[in-house]
Amino acid sequence: MDKKAIDAVLQKIESTELAEGNQRVKTIVNRLVRDMFYTIEELDVQPEEFWAAVDYLTSAGKSGEFGLIAAGLGFEHFLDLRMDEAEARRGVQGGTPRTIEGPLYVSGAPEQKGFARMDKDPQPGDTLFMQGQVFDEHGKPLANALVEVWHANHLGRYSFFDPAQSPFNLRCSIRTDEQGRYRFRSRVPVGYSVPPGGATDRLLNKLGRHGSRPAHIHFFVTVPGYRKLTTQINIAGDPYLWDDFAFATREGLVPELKHVTDPAEIRKHEVDAPFYAIEFNFNLLPEQKDLPKADINRPRLAA
C-alpha cells in the first residue's frame, strides 16, 4: 500500500470517533497508529510477526517488566535529555546531573535526621559509608532537604519487590541538618542484570545486547522552591560502568570509592574492619516557570 492508501485507512479509523474524548490522547494515539501502519508497510511486517509482538507485550505486562523495557530501549534516558534541553533553552544550567529513576522506587521510607542505617538485613559485602551536603546553585547549604536513597542487595534485588528482604531494607529517607549534610551506612552495592529469561532479557537478546547494570545507588533530592533531582551514582571500577543497558551513567555521577583502613577511622565509624567511603554533594537548581515538571507523576509502589 502507498501512503495515500494508508492515510485513507487511517482517516476511516479516525472518523469512527463518536464523542469528543481526550484530545491529547487522541493526538498521541493516532500518531502512534499512523507510524505503526507506515512501519508495517515499509518493513513488510508479516501477520505472524505482528501477533508474536502482541503476545510478547501481553507477557511483558503480566511480568511487570515494562519499566525495565522502557529503560533498556533508551526511553527513560531520552526523557532526561529532553528535560536537560528544555532547561538549557531557559538558561538553567549546572547542578548535579539527573539520570533515570528506574522502576523500583518505593515511597514511605521512615525519615531520619542527618544519618540513617540502610542495611537492615544481614548480607555479605563491604560496609559503605556515604556522606555529603545538599547545596543551592550558589553553594549555600540547604537545611531540611529530603534525600531519599535506595539500592539493590548482593543478589541485585530490591526490598518490596523481593519478599525475602525486610521492608525498607536498603532504603532510607534522610533530612539534612542545618549545614545541608546527609550521611548513611549501607553495603557496597553490586551490579546486576535483568531477570534471566524474562521479557526484557528476551528482547535484548533479539537486539544483540546485554541486560547488565553497573553497581549504583538511586537518589531523590527534594527541597521546596528547587527542582527535584532524580539521579544515581555509579560505583567506579565496575565493568559495566560505561556500558549500562539502561544508559544511566553520566559524567559527574561517578564519585571515588575510597577504601578506609586507618584504625582511628574504623573506631570512629564504630565498625570492626576496613570499610569503603563515598563523598558526594548534590547541587540543586531553583524552580522556574515555563519548565517541564521535574517532580514526575508516575505510577510507583507505596509501602
Q: What is the pLDDT of residues 255-301, one digit of tens each?
A: 999 999 999 999 999 999 999 999 999 999 999 999 999 999 999 99
Structure confidence at residue 266 (pLDDT):
97
Q: Provide the domain limits for residue 18.
A: 3-45
Q: State percent of the chain over pLDDT 70.
A: 100
Residue 108 gets the label, from left (phi > 0), alpha (psi -120 to 50) or beta, of left
Nearest to 240 by CA among 210, 217, 201, 279: 210
Q: Residue 62 falls within a domain, yes or no? A: no
Nearest to 106 by CA among 191, 177, 172: 172
Contacts of 129 (CB under 8 A, 6+ apart): 183, 184, 185, 269, 275, 276, 277, 278
Residue 192 and residue 224 share a domain: yes
Q: Residue 223 falls within a domain, yes or no? A: yes
Residue 229 and residue 185 share a domain: yes
- CA dist 250 and 231 (Å) reads 10
191 within 8 A of 249, measured Cβ to Cβ: no
Residue 238 and residue 294 share a domain: yes
Residue 117 and residue 254 share a domain: yes
Cβ atoms < 10 Å from Cβ of 231? 23
Residue 144 and residue 12 share a domain: no
Q: Residue 91 falls within a domain, yes or no? A: yes
Residue 112 and residue 34 share a domain: no
76 within 8 A of 70, measured Cβ to Cβ: yes
Residue 92 and residue 12 share a domain: no
Residue 79 and residue 11 share a domain: no
Nearest to 226 by CA among 115, 172, 146, 281: 146
Residue 100 and residue 22 share a domain: no
Using N-to-C axis directions, what is the helix angle for 47-63 and 199-206, rounded to 10°?
A: 140
Q: Which CATH number fits the domain that encloses residue 175?
A: 2.60.130.10
Residue showing cell 493516532: 30
Nearest to 148 by CA among 175, 117, 128, 127: 175
Helix/strand number for the chain, H first, E second: 7, 15
Q: Residue 54 falls within a domain, yes or no? A: no
Residue 262 and residue 179 share a domain: yes
- CA dist 264 and 261 (Å) reads 9
Residue 18 and residue 147 share a domain: no
Q: Residue 225 falls within a domain, yes or no? A: yes
Give SS3 for 185: strand
Q: Residue 58 falls within a domain, yes or no? A: no
Angle at 171 between CA 177 and CA 175, to 5 degrees: 15
- CA dist 214 and 156 (Å) reads 10
Residue 182 and residue 118 share a domain: yes
| Total of domains in the chain | 2
Q: Residue 51 falls within a domain, yes or no? A: no
Rg (C-alpha) for the chain, rounded Å, is 23
The stretches in the chain having pLDDT less than 70 are none
Q: Residue 239 falls within a domain, yes or no? A: yes
